[in-house]
A = this chain, B = another copy of it.
Amino acid sequence: MINIGLIGYGYWGPNLARNFFESPDFSLATICDVDSGKLELAQKRYPSAKLTSDYNEIFVDKNIDAIVIATPVFTHFKLAMLALQNGKHVLITKPITETSEQAIKLIDEASKRGLILMVDHTFVYTGAVRKIRELVSGGELGDICYFDSARVNLGLFQHDVDVIWDLAVHDISIMDYTLGEVPNAISATGASHVPDEPENVAYLTLFFKGSLIAHINVNWLAPVKVRRILIGGNRKMIVYDDIEPSEKVKVYDKGIAVSNKAEKYKMLISYRAGDMWAPQLDMTEALQTELIHFARCIKNGERAITDGYAGLRAVRMLEAATRSMKERGKPVELDAR
């Protein structure tokens, strides 16, 4: 059993707590939050867990093997670094840190000490996203033309991060995992509709080598919930609609075929419209799958799918998007690091 200290029992913390509690690999040893009301709630649900409002108690507790950080982003680096320096494995909610420099320092520290550093890019562990990666990497779709995501709803306005850092990080992590490529430039636009608050609507275009393009539409101020990703290949295309209760992933045998052009204005693009197919998906809760993976990484020293580098790649894209958004879409190059 791996003993867990959880810091943060606010919005996402209770989901982590429940999954760690139900997992056969972990023991939910300590829960920390600065809000006494939340600690009381945690105590009622998990009377066997120790409770504290001082996270230092967790760092110095010899009994704790791994620390889970579910606090606001601006605290991630400080808490994670302390955890690593005290010899604990670390799982951090997304995004991993506020800056790419911070992410690099955490990666180095974890590497030096041989500890697992993992970021909670939850969607990567869903059956839907894992199936999509399998289809893309297996060549089922042919060459990928575009990745187009919309993630909008009447969401919780954040004060410390904008909608890109809050929502687009999900799409970026899904894109990173399923396409396995990094963009070379980003153009982003957005707007804030509450004075002195961060942008609540944003649009990102990510340019890749060749003609691959990705786009992400995020919005905290939408009347309906949309969570739809289209992935267009030159052989097949995917629609991943996360709102659907079942058949979340549909594969369309649709596309175009291009013949050599003999003369101008002669239509030589032909259209294919074939069957649609919705593969059966593993419906296990993503966090459960993620925790099994986290446990295996800790026990066997395996490299995490969503390791520090995955967290770093996401933060680099978020940084570039933020810079571009401040200049109304002016493209920002991404180093090919």
Q: A: which residues have CB within 8 A of B?
A: 47-48, 145-146, 148, 150, 152, 154, 157, 159-160, 185, 187, 189-197, 201, 203, 205, 207, 211-213, 215, 217, 219, 221-225, 230, 232, 234, 237-239, 243, 245-247, 250, 252-256, 258, 261, 264-265, 267, 269, 271, 273-280, 324, 327-331
If over half of A's interface residues share one DSSP class (helix, strand or loop), that class is named, otherwise mixed; here it is: strand
A253 cross-chain contacts in B, Cβ below 8 A: 280
Nearest-Cβ distance from residue A248 to partner chain B, whole angstroms: 11
Between A and B, 26 residue pairs with Cβ closer than 8 Å are A145-B191, A145-B201, A146-B193, A148-B201, A154-B271, A157-B256, A157-B267, A159-B264, A187-B330, A189-B329, A191-B213, A193-B234, A195-B258, A197-B269, A217-B217, A221-B237, A222-B230, A222-B237, A223-B230, A224-B239, A273-B280, A274-B280, A277-B277, A329-B330, A329-B331, A330-B330
A189 cross-chain contacts in B, Cβ below 8 A: 187, 205, 207, 213, 215, 329
Q: Is the CB of A223 within 8 A of B252?
A: yes
Report the copy number of this chain in the oligomer: 4
Q: Is the CB of B328 within 8 A of A157?
A: no
Known: A154-B271, A230-B223. A194 touches B258 (CB 8 A): yes
A275 cross-chain contacts in B, Cβ below 8 A: 277-280
Known contacts A145-B221, A146-B201, A223-B237; can you find 12 more A-B pairs with CB under 8 A? A152-B230, A157-B256, A160-B265, A194-B269, A197-B269, A201-B232, A223-B230, A223-B232, A223-B239, A273-B280, A275-B280, A329-B330
